[in-house]
Structure 1
Amino acid sequence: MSLKAKILEDLKTAMKAKDQDRLRVLRSLKAKMQEKEIAERKGGEAELTDAQATDVLMKAAKQRKESITQFEEGDRADLADNEKLELAIIEEYLPKMMDEDEVRAVVQEKIAAMGASGPQDMGKVMGPIMGQLKGKADGGLVSKVVKEELNK
Structure 2
Amino acid sequence: MSLEEQVMSGMKDAMKSKDEAMLRGLRAIKAEIIKAKTEPGANGQVTAEGELKLLQKMMKQRKDSLDIYQQQGRADLAQKEQEEIAIIEKFLPQQLSEEELKEALKSIIASVGAAGPQDMGKVMGVATKQLAGKTDGKAISAAVKTLLG
TM range (shorter): over 0.9
Q: Aligned pair count?
A: 149
Structure 1 residue 68 displacement after superposition: 0.9
Matched with 1:10 is 10
Alpha-carbon distance change, 41 to 11 in structure 1, aligned in 2, over 3 angstroms: farther
Matches of residues 81-92 of structure 1 in structure 2 within 5 Å?
81-92=79-90
Separation (CA, whole Å) in 2 of partners of 1:89 and 1:66: 16
Structure 1 residue 18 displacement after superposition: 2.4
Matched with 1:32 is 32
Matches of residues 90-105 of structure 1 in structure 2 within 5 Å?
90-105=88-103
Q: Which stretch shows the higher mean deviation, 71-80 or 9-18? A: 9-18
Matched with 2:76 is 78
Separation (CA, whole Å) in 1 of partners of 2:40 and 2:130: 23
Separation (CA, whole Å) in 1 of partners of 2:107 and 2:141: 15
Matched with 1:46 is 44
Separation (CA, whole Å) in 1 of partners of 2:111 and 2:93: 27
What's the TM-score, normalizing by structure 2?
Answer: 0.92
Matched with 1:137 is 135
What's the TM-score, normalizing by structure 1?
Answer: 0.90
Separation (CA, whole Å) in 2 of partners of 1:139 and 1:84: 20
Could you list the runs of 5+ residues in structure 1 that have no partner in the other structure? none
RMSD: 1.4
Separation (CA, whole Å) in 1 of partners of 2:13 and 2:98: 35
Residue 114 (structure 1) aligned to one of 109, 112, 115: 112
Does the aligned pair in 2 maintain the 1:107–1:129 contact within 8 Å? yes
**Residues 81-107 of structure 1: per-residue CA shift (max 9 Å, x gap):** 111111111111111111111111111
Structure 1 residue 16 displacement after superposition: 2.5
Residue identity (%):
42
Structure 1 residue 40 displacement after superposition: 5.5
Separation (CA, whole Å) in 2 of partners of 1:113 and 1:19: 47
